[in-house]
Structure 1
Amino acid sequence: MKAVTMPSAPEHRPSPPIRVRTAIGALATVVAVVAGVVVPVTSASAAPTTVASDSSARVSTSGWGTADKGGAWSTWSGPSTASFSVASGVSTISGLAPGGSATAALASVSVKDVEVRGKIRLPDSKAGFYQGWELRRQGDGSAYRGRLETGGSGAVSLAVTKVKKSGETSLGRVALPAGISAGSTVSIAFRAEGSTAVSLKGKAWPVASSEPGWQLSVSDSAADRVSQGGSVGLWQYASAGNTSRSTTSFDDLVVVGSPSESAEAAPAPTTPAPAPTTPAPAPTTPTPAPTTPAPQPAPAPAPVPASPDSSQGSVPVGSARYAVPSGAIVVAPSGSDSAAGTSAAPLRTATAAVAKAKSGGTIVLRAGTYNEGVVVPFQKKLTIQSWPGEAVWFDGSVPVGAWQRSGSGWSTPWSFFPSAEIGGAVDNPRFVSPAFPYAARPDQVFLDGVQLTQVAPSQLAPGTFAPDPSSGRVLLGTDPAGHEVRISNKQQAIWVQSADSTVRGIGIRRYATPNSDKGAIRFGNTGATAENLVIQDNAMIGLNLENNGGTLSRLTVERSGMLGVGTNASYDLSITDSVIRQNNWQRFKEAPVSGGIKITRSRGVTVSNNDISRNYSSGLWLDESVYDSKVIGNTVEGNEWTGIQLELSSKAVVAGNTITGGKAGLQLMDTDDVRVYNNSIGGFSQYGIKVTQDERRQATAPTGQDRRRPIPDPTMTWVTGKITIANNAFGSGGYYQVFVLDSKTHRSADSMGITVTGNAFNQRRTTAQATLVGWGAGDNKTVTRLDSVAALSAKNGSWRNVETSGVLDLGGMGSLLASSLGIVSTLPADVAALLGQPGTARRIGAF
């Protein structure tokens, strides 16, 4: 199986701006890491010093040659090769494949208080890619990273993250103005200063615009902060979901040590000095050796908060501060399972603590790594949490150093080979795509924290591994010398069987969870609480919940093999304030299950204020008899299939969400009684909102019913109808902004009870633009194009909508939205309350 680990953000102190002129040549998804020259100035009073710069005023057809100041560039790309060249005043990385990354490093530079400035031409296509500038990069790959993040809608965000071997943690993120989008040429500045508390700042602006103040400013004082000087650089990754190779160019890079605010507007130096000539690779977390670079799978989007106020996602592991109650059982890696379990005499394992604890008790884990699988039995209500301010990881892998050369690769003896069976079949083709034949195999190998790709033994190559149960070995395609290699040896971190139990403040990673075990962390009883958990790089489902009253909040769930969060038969479920990104990492088929969050056979569901983005399938999927759901105020960006989907369900409010990218923004299928209010939807490749019906009916279907309810269930029919689409803003994109069709049972859209009013559409001027509304006929196939708001009014005289005068994305529609409040449909009282707005609030699009 394959997975990736993402790095984090830089440290700041006021410094003079460093100007970087970036190339506007070819477009790419590229990674360049600039190492900083060692400067013995770390105090705020030290004079600003240019430690590296590069105007790209040379010609090189193989690599980037030597910078003007800072030494020779070393370059690396993977898993397939990209080209590095310098010509016409720009440095270019071209031909970077989807799912690939690249680095270009200046090996002789090291600096602590630092500012990097530059310009970059973003790729023209509206595809996913992540551009980063790394500061204080350490030998183990730790660094801060300033990032530009682009999704399928073309919108760009500015972020700061912290990179550690364990992964990449978001420290803050803001959306950039609409003037910065795919194809823009952008100036950037990132700064890191301080030691006890690391100050990190960033900004980005179109080259033709005046420079703004700092747009993002955060501080990192966590125990794992990067407080020492290190390399400085550029990093970039092309999303695996992109459809073509990409190219990006850079020039006039400048790196300043001990920057000062007064130097911020100073022009870039124009006479940089030459530097060393010994390259050293600097890929994503961690750095592969120059001769045998480790593969670089997709860096996941920032796991923790999606915004600087930390309103979404878990706090970083090691930052939670829950009180330690009297009588708590204490565990520490240095303890003994024969000890008393007190702070002075801790137990060694969580397993022993569960056995010792009484129902109603609390288990507190001291800092460290726990390679365990823990079961909380039915009769014990427990709280499991971290010690205040200490980093606790449940890690399902172990380091393996005993490798020997074997054929074209290396091998080690191994005995743990988890089952690849799903639904009674190994590599079940109902779930597994032929393009990713090993998706269901939970085996995992990590090289320097980066998950390698699983292949057959005959396909072994650099960046891959192959389990070989017949010989009791694991085969590795990359030379392990000088690297940390970890292999997953546990299936599940925690299975909570008891009611009213809580797990909070810890991290869970690298478990080789087979389908039969459901999630790396699994809750099987009522009243479960999961809070401030970071769940990364697990083989099947990150977190699975299977009963009523579950409260899931402040989670960060990334790179799960199949699904980030799965819930079934969970009445009164709440999923809030979480980040669910880049799941379905193994690329299971879109159906029957994969993606960010899937909820089935549940009632009274609330999903609010989550970032559900860039999952390799659907973002949020409510399916098979979900009744009375509220999907409120979520950011749903760049998911490959559908952003939000309601299927075989009834009674829902979908309001205040921002949904961009993917094939469809919102899909309503075999679902009735849905109120879709005040969403911002754009950048979709096919449908903004798709309303459809197939042949399934609740009373006669062989599966999908809620078995706790009577069958047939009088509260739902699985017949699409009674749908209000009001006060939504539709940005450019796709074939249809709203599409309504019963594809099986000879019902026309006219008979389905659809209301479309108070919306702002993109005007359709040419056939290349999306139709406002596609209106299905009763023959299951004919669709009438309603290409203007006048056509909508002719369909129903009470509908009042507006349209743009040209093709605009969501960011460009502000003026129209503000001037069109007269057509807004009044918010129902309960919808207004869910949105936190007065009933008199008038707005088009998300609040």
Structure 2
Amino acid sequence: MLPTPKALLATLAAGLLVTSAIAVIAPAPATAAQTVLVNDTFTRTIASGWGTAPGGAAYTVSPSSAASLSVASNTGVIGGLKPGGSATVTLASESVADVDLTANIQVPAAPVSLFHAFELRRQADGSTYRGRLQVGSTGSTSLAISRVNGAVETGLGRVALPFIATKATTISVEFRVTGGSSGSGAITIGGRAWVAGSSMPDWQSIVTDSSSSRITKAGAAGLWEYASSSNAAAVTSRYDNLVLSANPAPAALAPVSTPTPTPTATTTPTATPTPTPTTTPAPAANPQPAQGATPVGTATYAAPATALYVSPTSGSDTNAGTLAKPFKTVAAAITASKTGQTIVLRAGVYHEAVTIPTNKTLSIQAYPKEAVWFDGSTAVTSWSASGSTWKTSGWSFFGDSSMDGVADNPGFVDPAHPMAARPDQVFIDGTALRQVATAAEVTAGTFAVDAASKSITIGSNPAGHDVRASNLTQAIAVLSPGSTLQGFGVRRYATSYSEKGAVRLGSTSETARDLVIQDNAMIGINVQNNAATLDHLTVQRNGLMGIGVNASYGLVIKNSLVTGNNSEQFKPAPVSGGMKITRSRGVTITNNNTSNNYGSGIWLDESCYNATITKNTSSSNQYTGIQLELGSTAIIADNDLSNEQFAMQIIDSSNVKIFNNTMGGNSKFDVRIEQDERRQAAPGAVGRDPRQPVPDPTVTWLTKNITVANNVFGSGGYWQVYAFDAETHVSADAMALTISGNLFNQRTTTAQPTLVGWGQGDNVTVTRLDTVAAINAKNPAFVNVETSSSLPLSGMTSAIAGAQSGAVPLPADVAAALGQRAGTKKLGHL
């Protein structure tokens, strides 16, 4: 039998959860006493299924083909769960609204990626609240809370846990759902997990659900387990001490107690005048740029009275953190802070790497109109000349060049830029030098590092110049929900691929605002959780990518300037450029400039769903302006996309509305619509959202239902619209395309782009539709207009004005995304 969570079992009946170390807030009186419905220690032996718990509650198991379920050795076993498979165990006879479920889970002995979920208020159609313990292949652990409505799962919150699951670790897990069962009011869902046998912590994640889709009815309880398709083999998990209770108190955070101050001896002071209290001045209004951060040193965010202060030039970590006596380091301020506080940074350079922990929701911001930089580099002042190079010794930082476990991974690294994955960086007067492999290769404007001799060699004379080398890898990791970063800069961190970003947002509902993030070795800012907001950022010249996002439901990126990224010139794929977003839902990307990146400007990949991409300028990128790949349900409207290879690519994606974009001067295609061999339901498919079922009816990776309307196409390239499958015999006819209301560029010679390329079902043939009449002949519902001659975008003002009557009415959802009335007829920009 696995260890019993004694602290929990001993107090369930009382409705109060207490351990010897941590007291949880006493709840308000419940409407009914908490009742234990099931207390199962699995002392039976059953070869198939889990049988019946003590007291008569029967377990229902499904599906039988994905895993082998049994009861053995005093545990409930889910055995042989195949990669990409899932299994469900339900106590269908126990229908309850306010419910608490706890159990011990022994994770597999082998390193795998596995989700263990508790399902509460489960309805007949599969709708449920799902609390999930996630264990990664490296042993990392996190808790996630979501709501499933039919086949659609919506993430509500996720937090990283403060422990690693080593082989066969036993973890105690508890999730609780209360409220809203009368049909009104919000529903509260709480979760926590801890290594079995250790003290039970306070609730680590509490979310409220007040949406119209919340689940208000009583329902069944059970377990759901999913094994990642990346696992090498089938896995086995064991459950014990499963306790299901009705009518628990709502989950709530423990109160923060204020310690009684230690009395100090009274002395007779020398009389001094009463000082006027020192406060942060009320900031004057500062104009906000339309895109990008305010320049570092101009942000004006007011500080609350309870703020802590930091100064790298006049502070001390033994101070109290007041305005008059600030801390010296941000790390000290975080340690001293309480959840809900603001940390205000005075002017200066902070050579730090800090973490906001899971239990503290904080804001970190610059003092009004003071320049604050987190800087991952340090000054290097001792150089010895040798011919045309200069060398410093005693250098100790040499970064990790591995990507997905492979040093200088050729899947990412372009042979023309072989040092791209090396995070080493050297700057002279703020300008980056280019890294070469050895000191013998160093010339002006380059540098090399040598771990054996602990040295850096540069090819530019350092005399009279500020020379800096990067020796920190990450500026800020934010692991607490609701935290905010605003008003400062982050630069020159030697971030490796495994660390994701110089700034990392790792919990829910976090905000980054008015930040300048530049010249970092890999990714500028990384998001790894739901409901993040990135607003008025300037993200530039980062080595691989500006913004990287994975698994963020409810993501918003707006009003930001994301340029010059992939400065190390990695390959365009599998990842590089301005921003890439994967496995996310409910994404909004609006009013950004994502131009001049090496790679793509905006790239959504791997099962993104319900994206709104509007009013962006994404031009002069090396590869693509906007790309939607392996996705579904998107509005791409009122964007400027010019002077790149592809303005827009829609690959293996469905239900996409492409309205009122302006495209031209692109060297290959304006709108490329493609199907390849990938399918979401195929065995072993890579790129699924692990929070969604397999197969996922919402994201099938089938190119279908694409509308191209009210767009303006300038001259340039080969094709203005191109729809083709070169792999699986899907014709453009089968893609259910709508092409109407567009202003195409007339094709007067074969050197000018074809209006529409219409793929046949033989994987080879593309029929050219060279006039709007030919497009209309293909489908009489396709009504478009074309210019009277070949025109670049810059010469199309009159043509656009004269073609407005050809626009089609905006659908309601597109109109809402653009702030227009439904039915508005306008061609091009709105």
- Which blocks of at least 5 consecutive residues in structure 2 are unaligned? 1-286
Contact 1:817-1:843 at 8 Å conserved across structures: no
Pairing 1:820-839 to 2, within 5 Å after superposition: 820-839=803-822
**Match status 1:368 vs 2:348:** yes
- Quote the offset at 1:839 in angstroms: 2.3
**Match status 1:784 vs 2:757:** no
State the distance in 2 between where 1:711 and 1:412 align: 56
Helix, strand or coil: the match of 1:613? coil
Amino acid of the structure 1 residue aligned with 2:331: T
1:602 to 562, 584, 587: 584
2:294 to 309, 315, 340: 315
Amino acid of the structure 2 residue aligned with 1:438: M
Pairing 1:615-694 to 2, within 5 Å after superposition: 615-694=597-676
Helix, strand or coil: the match of 2:536? strand
2:368 to 388, 395, 404: 388
**Match status 1:765 vs 2:745:** no
State the distance in 2 between where 1:437 and 1:609 align: 35
- Quote the offset at 1:842 in angstroms: 2.0
1:445 to 426, 431, 441: 426
**Match status 1:427 vs 2:435:** no
Helix, strand or coil: the match of 1:637? coil
2:324 to 341, 344, 349: 344
**Match status 1:528 vs 2:510:** yes
Amino acid of the structure 2 residue aligned with 1:524: G
- Quote the offset at 1:736 in angstroms: 0.1
State the distance in 2 between where 1:839 and 1:355 align: 52
Q: 1:750 maps to what in 2?
A: 733
**Match status 1:335 vs 2:318:** no
Amino acid of the structure 1 residue aligned with 2:479: Q
Helix, strand or coil: the match of 2:607? coil
**Match status 1:721 vs 2:701:** no
2:449 to 436, 461, 467: 467
- Which blocks of at least 5 consecutive residues in structure 1 are unaligned? 1-307
Contact 2:435-2:447 at 8 Å conserved across structures: yes
State the distance in 2 between where 1:403 and 1:551 align: 44
Helix, strand or coil: the match of 1:651? strand
Helix, strand or coil: the match of 2:777? helix
- Quote the offset at 1:399 in angstroms: 1.2
Q: 1:22 maps to what in 2?
A: none
State the distance in 2 between where 1:794 and 1:814 align: 28
State the distance in 1 between where 2:701 and 2:813 align: 24
State the distance in 1 between where 2:612 and 2:681 align: 25
Q: Cα 1:391–1:681, aligned 2, differ >3 Å: closer, same or farther? A: same
Contact 2:679-2:685 at 8 Å conserved across structures: no
Q: Deviations over 1:308-345 (max 9, x none)?
A: 97211101111111111111110001200010100000
Q: 1:493 maps to what in 2?
A: 475
Helix, strand or coil: the match of 2:814? helix
Q: 1:580 maps to what in 2?
A: 562
Q: Deviations over 1:399-452 (max 9, x none)?
A: 111001235411112011111111111100010010000000000000111000
What stretches of structure 1 move > 4 A for 4+ residues in a row?
none
Contact 2:812-2:823 at 8 Å conserved across structures: no
Q: Cα 1:309–1:325, aligned 2, differ >3 Å: closer, same or farther? A: closer
State the distance in 2 between where 1:363 and 1:843 align: 48
Q: 1:702 maps to what in 2?
A: 685
**Match status 1:800 vs 2:783:** yes
Amino acid of the structure 1 residue aligned with 2:543: G
Q: Deviations over 1:592-630 (max 9, x none)?
A: 100001000000000000001000000000000000000
Q: Deviations over 1:800-823 (max 9, x none)?
A: 111111111122112122122222
State the distance in 2 between where 1:683 and 1:722 align: 27
- Quote the offset at 1:478 in angstroms: 1.2
State the distance in 2 between where 1:840 and 1:648 align: 30
Amino acid of the structure 2 residue aligned with 1:443: D
Amino acid of the structure 2 residue aligned with 1:695: E
**Match status 1:775 vs 2:758:** yes
Q: Deviations over 1:745-774 (max 9, x none)?
A: 111111110111100011001110000001
Amino acid of the structure 1 residue aligned with 2:371: A
Q: 2:377 maps to what in 1?
A: 397
Contact 1:520-1:542 at 8 Å conserved across structures: yes
State the distance in 1 between where 2:289 and 2:303 align: 24
State the distance in 2 between where 1:686 and 1:534 align: 33
Contact 1:673-1:722 at 8 Å conserved across structures: yes
Q: Deviations over 1:5-64 (max 9, x none)?
A: xxxxxxxxxxxxxxxxxxxxxxxxxxxxxxxxxxxxxxxxxxxxxxxxxxxxxxxxxxxx
Helix, strand or coil: the match of 2:417? coil
Helix, strand or coil: the match of 1:490? coil
State the distance in 1 between where 2:753 and 2:740 align: 18
Amino acid of the structure 2 residue aligned with 1:626: C
Amino acid of the structure 1 residue aligned with 2:402: E
Q: Deviations over 1:530-589 (max 9, x none)?
A: 000000100000000000000110000000100100000000000000000010000011
Pairing 1:36-47 to 2, within 5 Å after superposition: none
Q: 1:243 maps to what in 2?
A: none
2:458 to 461, 476, 481: 476
Q: Report the number of matched residues.
A: 540
Helix, strand or coil: the match of 1:619? strand
1:712 to 695, 704, 728: 695
- Quote the offset at 1:840 in angstroms: 4.0
- Quote the offset at 1:833 in angstroms: 1.5
Helix, strand or coil: the match of 1:611? coil
State the distance in 1 between where 2:288 and 2:532 align: 25
Pairing 1:251-270 to 2, within 5 Å after superposition: none
Q: Structure 1 vs Structure 2: percent identity of aligned residues?
A: 55
1:324 to 303, 309, 314: 303
State the distance in 2 between where 1:822 and 1:538 align: 49
State the distance in 2 between where 1:481 and 1:707 align: 54
Contact 1:323-1:388 at 8 Å conserved across structures: yes
Amino acid of the structure 2 residue aligned with 1:502: T
